[in-house]
């Protein structure tokens, strides 16, 4: 199905590109299931279920019954929530932004640590309900107050709605910490995937806001941190690995950032980046910063395609620091707090984490990095998901808990 159906304002192909074929109309790539992933059969079944949900969603969208993202979110929220006897869980609204607060029932001798959590899902999937088990575990095991933010998503809300909601909820929480019994000297921003992008972008913003409490640490789980180089080793090696293939990534970007899908292949060839930006940021986003051992699995260095100004004008928001926090100014990076970075071997975004690790360390930021050799993008969502559970999700959460307790 052509993704133009999902992008109402782009109902026709630009005249200058009328002879081109959109990437979404091409035959899908055969999924790659690496042998290094534990429970490969379970992985295949989960992938099939996800693909079935996506395709059913597009059928319903074409029939004008329901959009694909809303249908998938409906499916992943069907499972009922189980109450945690050790926590008080409250659903609130900060203005029009739904949030969920998790607070330990046991009394504390001092104000609690506060963790602001942003869920992943490319601003298309994910929800407060889907991440409820994870947030319960995080609050209970770290003895912290956790605030989970339910930001607006596609299709009803495009860029920058999600980021604006995350910023608004964060600032409101930071200004009302006493209400929730949170210690202003023990604050953490945390997220996975797109949620990790929000976490570090907001962390960068807050270093310029002296009137707000200072963030003690940031926890970034397989983050997306740059929209420049889509030919890094991990982008080549894992381009067909579910649940974030190269085609998935470019599609999700076009849906959220609201640019025409005809530009997807151009962007994935790095032809959307102006020469002057390559000159300015080339060293930061270069594959030369990726350790040699991560280049041994079928990586071929590639030069960017010829610069396409139309693609740049359509997608230039990809290159802004709020969406590419990797390129933030040195003085901003240097002020960032202690950081935990988690990367997964079979993740197209693996090298984003590696680039950000080096960027932080080069500016003197303390970084704790953990690499999941059997991990894949989105594995964290499998936590406590019964037959779709992967042990790697618990490993990541326990790393997060240990990091928090050592602060």
Catalytic residues: 193, 347, 377
Q: Copy the structure tokens of residue 162.
A: 């999600």
Contacts of the segment 236-239: beta carbons below 8 A, 24+ positions apart = 236/298, 236/299, 236/300, 237/297, 237/298, 237/299, 238/32, 238/346, 238/347, 238/348, 238/350, 238/377, 239/29, 239/32, 239/348
Three-state DSSP at 189 gives strand
Given the DSSP bridges, would you call strands 97-104 and 87-94 parallel, antiparallel or unpaired?
Answer: antiparallel
Tell me the C-alpha distance between 149 and 119, whole Å.
7
Look up residue 29 and give its DSSP letter: P
Q: Report residue 242: phi and psi, to 5°.
A: -60, 150
Query: Looking at the DSSP assignment, which residues form a beta bridge with residue 90?
Result: 101
Tell me the C-alpha distance between 348 and 345, whole Å.
8
């Amino acid at each position: 199905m052509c993704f133009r159906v999902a992008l109402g304002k782009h109902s026709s192909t630009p005249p200058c590109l009328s002879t081109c074929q959109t990437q979404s109309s091409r035959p899908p790539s055969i999924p790659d299931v690496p042998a290094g992933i534990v429970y490969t059969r379970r992985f295949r079944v989960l992938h099939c279920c996800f693909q079935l949900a996506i395709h059913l969603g597009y059928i319903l969208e074409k029939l004008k019954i329901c959009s694909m993202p809303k249908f998938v979110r409906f499916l992943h929220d069907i499972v009922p929530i189980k109450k945690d006897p050790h926590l008080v869980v409250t659903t609130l609204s900060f203005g029009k932004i739904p949030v969920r607060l998790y607070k330990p029932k046991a009394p504390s001798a001092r104000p609690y640590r506060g963790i602001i959590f942003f869920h992943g899902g490319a601003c298309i999937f994910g929800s407060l309900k889907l991440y409820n088990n994870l947030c319960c575990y995080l609050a209970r095991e770290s003895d912290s107050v956790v605030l989970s933010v339910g930001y607006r998503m596609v299709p009803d809300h495009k860029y920058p709605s999600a980021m604006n909601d995350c910023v608004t909820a964060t600032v409101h929480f930071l200004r009302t910490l006493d209400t929730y019994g949170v210690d202003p000297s023990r604050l953490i921003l945390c997220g996975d995937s797109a949620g990790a992008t929000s976490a570090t972008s907001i962390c960068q913003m807050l270093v310029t806001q002296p009137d707000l409490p200072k963030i003690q640490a940031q926890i970034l789980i397989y983050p997306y941190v740059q929209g420049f180089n889509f030919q890094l080793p991990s982008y080549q090696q894992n381009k067909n690995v579910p649940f974030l293939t190269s085609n998935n990534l470019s599609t999700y970007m076009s849906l959220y950032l609201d640019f025409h899908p005809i530009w997807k292949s151009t962007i994935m060839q790095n032809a959307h980046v102006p020469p002057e930006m390559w000159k300015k940021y080339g060293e930061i986003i270069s594959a030369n910063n990726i350790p040699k051992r991560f280049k041994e699995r079928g990586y071929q260095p590639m030069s960017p395609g010829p610069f396409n100004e139309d693609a740049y004008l359509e997608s230039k928001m990809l290159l802004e620091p709020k969406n590419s926090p990797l390129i933030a100014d040195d003085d901003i990076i240097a002020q960032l707090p202690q950081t935990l970075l988690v990367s997964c071997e079979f993740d197209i975004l693996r090298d984003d984490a590696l680039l950000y690790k080096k960027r932080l360390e080069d500016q003197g930021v303390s970084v704790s990095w953990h690499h999941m050799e059997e991990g894949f993008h989105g594995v964290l969502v499998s936590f406590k998901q019964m037959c779709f559970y992967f042990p790697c999700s618990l490993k990541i959460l326990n790393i997060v808990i240990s990091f928090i307790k050592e602060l």
